[in-house]
Every structure is written in C-alpha cells, then in structure tokens.
Amino acid sequence: MSTRVPMNWRNPVHVLASGFGSGLAPRAPGTFGTLAAIPIVWLAQMLPAWQYAGVTVLMFVAGVFICGRAARDWGASDHPAIVWDEIVGLLVTMSLAPAGAIWLLVGFVLFRIFDIAKPWPISSLDRHVQGGFGIMLDDLAAGIFAGSILYLGVRWLN
C-alpha cells in the first residue's frame, strides 16, 4: 500500500481525518495526531462534564463518517494519515482525569501504549470491524483502557 495521501486541503473531511495535517507526518503519524488532540482536550476540559461527554460522543459519531470517507478517498481501509480516531481516543482517555499538564502527559503516554500495542480485545476489534466504525472503535477501546488506568492512578494518588 502506498502511504502517499491524495490530500485535498479544500476538503474538510480530509483536513479533519488527517488531524489538521498532523497525520501527514512521515514518521509516527498516530503520535502526531494524538499531539494535535492536546489543545482540543485542553479546551474540552474547561467544559462541564456533560458537555465534555457530548463533544466526545459527537466527535466519535462524526469520526465514523470522516474516517470512512477518507479511507475510501485515499484507497486504504485505515490509512496511516487518518488520525481523527487518535484525537477522539485521547478525549476518551482524559474524560475522567483532572485537568493539568501532568495528567495530560500521563494520559497521552498511556493512550499511545494501548493504541500501538493493541492488546486483546483492541487487536480483535482492529482486525474484525471494518469501515469508519472500525477505524474509530479500536481507538475508543484504547482510550477506555488508558482512561481506566489513568482514573485508577488518580484515585490512588488522591
């Protein structure tokens, strides 16, 4: 599979799917996509919890369409440049964490570990669920795993 992306900067689906271009990084596009999520998470953490949850759900649902469409446009089932799922995954990871740079750093690292390693059942979801929903689902699962560990760490330390 070619990793060249027929990016159309005038197409909002391409811009969003690529994490505002962060997914076009030649190395570690998922990590760069997760980095692009940091300002989004930081802004979302200023919202009441119900609004944070609403934004996250809305971004997940939109991501099913965005990622599915970009995958079709770019001719790959889950092109490396598609990083909208990483953005949502970090939002999920941080959903129960307190605001703060240290927690965001820990959440970032935990999410990347689960997203890269893909332990079961994340690996099973990644292999067996296709399309935009499949692209989004494994990162949702990675976010839930990472967020659960982060939440337990916060509870243990407080």
Question: How is the chain split into domains, by residue range?
Answer: 12-157
Residue burial 98-128, b: 16+ Cβ < 10 Å; e: rest: eeeeebbebbbebbbebbeebeeebeebbee
- Residue 1: is its pLDDT beyond 80? no
| pLDDT tens track for 36-80 | 999 999 999 999 999 999 999 999 999 999 999 999 999 999 999
Q: Taking a C-beta distance cutoff of 8 angstroms, is the pair 158, 102 a contact?
A: no
pLDDT band (50, 70, 90) for residue 3: low
Q: What does the pLDDT read at residue 14? A: 97
pTM (predicted TM-score): 0.94
Lowest mean pLDDT among 3-12, 69-78, 114-123: 3-12
Residue 59's nearest CA partner among 42, 84, 39, 34 is: 84
* pLDDT beyond 80 at 114: yes
- Is residue 80 reached through a cis peptide bond, with omega within 30 degrees of 0 on the bond before it? no
